[in-house]
Amino acid sequence: MPERPRGVIVDTRGQGTVGTGGSGDGALSTARPPMTTTLFLVAVVILTALFFDFTNGFHDSANAMATSVATGALRPRTAVLIAAILNVVGAFLSTEVAKTISGGMVNDSFVTPTMIFAGLVAAILWNLTTWLFGLPSSSSHALFGGLIGAVLVGAGLSGVNFSVVVSKILLPAVIAPLVAGMGAAAAIYLVHRFFPASDSEPAAGWFRRAQTVSGSMIALAHGTSDGQKTMGVITLVLITGGYQQSGTGPQTWVIACAGLAIGLGTYSGGWRIMRTMGKGLVELHSPQGFAAETTSAAAILASSHMGFGLSTTQVCSGSVIGSGVGRNLSMVRWATARRMVYGWLLTLPAAALFGAVGAAIALTGPVGVVIVLVALLAGTTTIVAISRRTAVNRHNVNDSRDVTVKFGRVATETMLATVATVAATTAAPAAAVVESTASDSSATASGKADSSLLPIVIAQPTGPATARDAATGTAAPS
């Protein structure tokens, strides 16, 4: 592919040059092209990117304020309001991560708006799925994976700069949570070594007040880091669509829109993940919350200014686990932590797979783009509807440490327990039926139970059934 002339905006529709760039801000100085298929697609991708930014806000709002809410340092609604405002402010502080995405991770001369659209759809659906299960996975890695998968299908290996992916995405994903976790563990160890009564009043109250500051710093850092990722995507689609110069950073309106979208998403409250972060990993006290928030904020702000595409979720989760380790290993709920790490490992490849499938469909033409858009709308509607069956909100976020998902009429948390209870309560009746049948049937002459009898016994009610029981397939207790 021939190199683009420096300072010239190329019309990717193959109709020549659209115009020349301005004085370095990436804006066109000549008349913009009329409404075309490309311009319409660019507009759709920008709206989709802002929707991803909104999901990023409520998916990751737990990163900033889960510990403050769990320890009682801030009321839930106050916490997300502060986080929302500071996310918007943070979006204006730096654009280094945005430049990594728009001009570093992928080769913009090979990328098209359709590929970006497919990658965004993959990231949104993965975000919503992990939010449904209360799993603190990485929105950043979902975005990176979706884009990489889509570009690999649409442009091949030459479309992805793997050296940048390794140095600014994969390595920080491994190093940053470990550093944050060790920092939090060391901090909480020193606190309890020199202030043994830090969990009791009045020291606990001092730490709760300090959490107002440390939690706010995470919210600011989150806006600085994650807000930039959507800026980078929008800038990338403007460049690939021919509406901005290659190599330029986000324009002011892009920064403002991205900051506002992530702020609104944060204010909506990611209560499901906030429950896992605040209660599911470690039963936090105010000194631990302060230590986790302080180390997380320092790690995120430092990496953002170096242009690393860091996962704020992984950093904050690492800090929370570290705060538990520094106090006592038994304070960490390792089963939840293990499930969360599995989610981390799965996020990037799974999103890449979804992005690749989406790109394969969308690149077939306008009908393919419509199919992917319909899949996005259908998936979003379904996931939101399922989440409302076991809603988590600001009123009950601290009531439990578990997030349940209810498909139909059965919650995932109680499925196995229900099966075990039913099997235990029906074991005796089943044995009686088998014993009485054995004397009359040569098929059961050996005394072994016929497995087909068990579901029959389970299905039989043990008492009078109500109308609701008949509709749900359950029996009233005798």
Q: Any idea which residue has 């603190």 for tokens?
A: 136
Q: Give me the pLDDT at residue 20, please.
A: 39
Q: Give me the pLDDT at residue 455, please.
A: 37
CA 146 to chain centre: 13
pLDDT, tens digit, 9 for 90 and up, residues 256-270: 888 888 888 888 767
d(C-alpha 145, C-alpha 309), whole Å: 12
Q: Is the pLDDT of residue 288 over 90?
A: no
Sequence letter at residue 395? H
pLDDT, tens digit, 9 for 90 and up, residues 81-112: 888 888 888 778 766 666 666 566 777 778 88
d(C-alpha 135, C-alpha 250), whole Å: 31
d(C-alpha 28, C-alpha 22), whole Å: 6
pLDDT, tens digit, 9 for 90 and up, residues 415-433: 434 444 444 444 444 444 4
Residue 247, SS3 per DSSP: coil
Q: Give me the pLDDT at residue 61, please.
A: 67
Q: Is the pLDDT of residue 310 over 60?
A: yes
| Omega of the bond leading into 202 within 30 degrees of 0 (cis) | yes
CB contact at 8 A, 312 and 140: yes
Which of 145-149, 421-425, 474-478 has the weakest average pLDDT?
A: 474-478
Residues 6+ apart with CB under 8 A from 236: 101, 102, 103, 106, 108, 111, 116
CB contact at 8 A, 282 and 320: yes
49: closest CA among 115, 133, 135? Answer: 115
d(C-alpha 264, C-alpha 85), whole Å: 9
Q: Is the pLDDT of residue 152 over 90?
A: yes
Residues 6+ apart with CB under 8 A from 456: none
d(C-alpha 217, C-alpha 179), whole Å: 18
d(C-alpha 329, C-alpha 293), whole Å: 19
> In a 10 Å sphere around its CB, with 0-12 CB exposed, 13-18 middle and 19+ buried, how is residue 438 labelled?
middle
Q: Is the pLDDT of residue 26 over 50?
A: no
Q: Give me the pLDDT at residue 465, please.
A: 42
| β-pairing verdict for 410-411 and 406-407 | antiparallel
Residues 6+ apart with CB under 8 A from 388: none
Which of 3-7, 204-208, 295-299 has the weakest average pLDDT?
A: 3-7
In the chain, what's the furthest Cα-to-Cα distance? Answer: 95
Q: How confident is the model at residue 150 (pLDDT cuts 50, 70, 90)?
A: very high
What DSSP line would sit under 142-198, residue for residue?
A: HHHHHHHHHHHHHH-GGGB-HHHHIIIIIHHHHHHHHHHHHHHHHHHHHHHHH-TTT
H/E element holding 319? Answer: helix 312-327
Which of 37-51, 223-237, 372-386 has the weakest average pLDDT?
A: 223-237
Say which residue, 245 or 411, is predicted with more confidence.
Answer: 245
Q: How many CA atoms lie within 13 A of 353 on its CB side?
A: 5
d(C-alpha 155, C-alpha 160), whole Å: 8
- Compute how many other C-beta atoms are within 10 angstroms of the C-beta atom of residue 72: 16
Sequence letter at residue 414? T
Instruction: Indicate the DSSP class of residue 9.
Output: E
Q: How confident is the model at residue 62 (pLDDT cuts 50, 70, 90)?
A: low
298: closest CA among 201, 395, 225, 389? Answer: 225
d(C-alpha 258, C-alpha 16), whole Å: 31
